[in-house]
Amino acid sequence: MVQVELKENRTKKNKALRRKLIYLLIDILIVTLSFLIFIWIKPASRRIYLPTYFNPFLFFTFVWVFVSIIISKYNLFKAKNYKEVFIPVLISNLTILAVVTTLIYSFGVFNYSRLIVFGTMLVATLLELIFTWLYMSVKRPVIVPEFDISAVRKTKFYPSDRTFTHEKKDEVKYIENRTQIKQIIIDESSENVYDFISTYVDVGNPETLTLSTTTRFNIDQLPENRFHNIVNLHKINDFRYINKFFESVNFKLPPGGIYINSAETYPLRKQRILKEYPIIINYIYYFFDFIFTRVFPKLIFTKKFYFWVTRGYNRVISRAETLGRLYSCGFECVDEKFIDGKFYFAMRKVKAPSLDTNPTYGPFIRLKRYGKNMKEIGVYKMRTMHAYSEYLQEYVYQQNQLQEGGKFSNDFRVTAAGRFMRKFWLDELPMIFNLFLGDMKLVGIRPLSKHYFNLYTQELKDKRIQVKPGLVPPFYADMPKTLEEIMASEMKYLEAYSRHPLWTDIRYFFLAFYNIMFRSARSK
């Protein structure tokens, strides 16, 4: 028996050693490839530099491998998540950078191009990070195991006193279930989360399902209208198809049913990364995290690669996108709250999902707006809001109302880049395409969404649909502040336009030009 155990341990050690050697060889290939790339970039490198760089490169590779072994960078097979492979790579390569920089500037050991030295390290680091992403995507990171509380409800409860009435037995079982589920929720999250959940659903009620899952398969297996409330303790950042999951929940809940879940938003993710790792390393980690998780998914030529590597695991998502997706899937917000580094939301089912088959993430968007004769047109703009923000107009209006100029106050849907673009009208430049298509004219009323259109009086609605919307609205000529003043301004323009179309547009164009250039009129 002892010999068998020793043999098994020896086999495990040999297997681990083989894996380390494989990773080491792959790392040497990455360093060599990075070195050759920058040798190729330098003029006359192959003829002059390459022969003289052979010995220094061997020494550099020795330093690279030695530090990597000391910091255990090659223990990839032990990693359970992305953090456990990223951190050793970053720590190891920063240490190598410090060692090489010291040797170069203090002792003059490497007497060759700094471009080749630091360029090799930069490219090698990027390739290593890409390799680790690929490795973990194949290995599949370990996530919180799923559990189904409905199984707890099926457990039979036998009270010690057999003389209890049926009602008393049900009451005791109800209390037992509630206690069990409460403890599971607290263990999975925290007591604050339990307090938030229990405010809107009765966790001990058989009509409330509490689970922790990342796949809609577990939702699709439920009978329709069996549960009035569904609580998922796993954050939506790990869902492969977020909208499909929300749609599945919608189909299983009756009208008025409550759905509670959580997400890690952009700011919360940044706070966690900067707090979790040592200074300098945390900013380097966040930089690469930002590029890979926020830039790659939005670009056409990197989006498929991103989802192929991550399979949607640990994606980043904004508060606006989270709520917008839920509203598009037929929910309305009951409450939202930031608890213990996560964004929790309680939603109520109010209708069937809209089933948006063509959502946009890129810098250009096509918004549905009312044109002439109530024709729905697609208005092209630069994205200034988070994805799915268009579904939140009514919610933001109810929360914040309107500020001066007719825009929402404290609109959390607008991105930092969006505020800059709005200030200089960069977001409206693509509407020139609508001008060429004939959907809009140069000067005219704004094309409105359904929500904004319904805020107007019936008289103004009737006049609006008789003309095409325009790129330059009367707003910049009259500079109204309230919604009532905006409606009065548009009514004034429409009445003048009905009498003298060409002269009215010319006059309003130059009035708007003067206010923009000399009175600093800006779009907010």
Beta-carbon contacts of residue 245 (< 8 Å; ≥ 6 apart): 215, 216, 219, 236, 239
Beta-carbon contacts of residue 239 (< 8 Å; ≥ 6 apart): 214, 215, 245, 312
- Which pTM does this prediction carry? 0.64
User: What is the reported pLDDT for 88?
Assistant: 79
Nearest by Cα to 470 from 439, 506, 499? 439
Classify residue 309 by burial, with Cβ atoms within 10 Å: 0-12, 13-18, 19+. Answer: middle
CA distance 10 to 6: 6
CA distance 117 to 41: 13
Instruction: Assess contact for 125 and 95: CB atoms under 8 A.
Output: no
Instruction: Assess contact for 79 and 136: CB atoms under 8 A.
Output: yes
User: What is the reported pLDDT for 502?
Assistant: 94
Q: What are the residue boundaries of the structural domains of the chain, listed by start?
A: 2-139, 147-265+317-349, 267-310, 383-518
Please give the radius of gyration of the chain, using alpha carbons only, rounded to the nearest integer: 30
CATH topology of domain 147-265+317-349: Translation Initiation Factor IF3 (3.30.110)
- 244 CA to centre of own chain: 16
Q: What is the full DSSP assignment across 434-452?
A: HHHHTS-EEESPPPB-HHH
What is the largest distance, in Å, between two alpha-carbon atoms of the chain? 102
CA distance 476 to 448: 16
Secondary structure class of 198 (helix, strand, coil): helix
Question: How many CB atoms are closer than 10 A to CB 26?
Answer: 16
Q: Report the sign of the C-alpha dihedral through residues 98, 100, 101, 105, in that order.
A: positive
Instruction: Assess contact for 330 and 250: CB atoms under 8 A.
Output: yes
Q: What is the mean pLDDT of each run of 10 residues along the chain (524 residues)?
A: 50 72 83 78 56 71 80 73 76 79 62 70 83 68 40 34 41 65 89 95 89 90 91 92 94 96 94 85 82 79 77 86 95 95 96 76 81 91 86 82 57 84 81 91 92 90 94 88 90 94 93 81 59
Total H helices, total E strands in the chain: 21, 10
CA distance 218 to 248: 10
What tokens does 146 get?
């799923």
Beta-carbon contacts of residue 189 (< 8 Å; ≥ 6 apart): 233, 262, 340, 342
User: What is the reported pLDDT for 139?
Assistant: 56
CA distance 394 to 374: 20
Question: How many CB atoms are closer than 10 A to CB 153?
Answer: 17
State the virtual CA torsion across 231, 237, 243, 244 in degrees, nearest 10.
-70
Nearest by Cα to 406 from 474, 318, 498? 474
Beta-carbon contacts of residue 161 (< 8 Å; ≥ 6 apart): none
Nearest by Cα to 379 from 321, 435, 422, 324? 435
What residue spans of 294-425 are helical by DSSP H?
A: 300-310, 319-328, 393-400, 416-423
Which CB contacts under 8 angstroms, 24+ apart, belong to 487-490?
487/456, 487/457, 487/460, 490/445, 490/460, 490/464
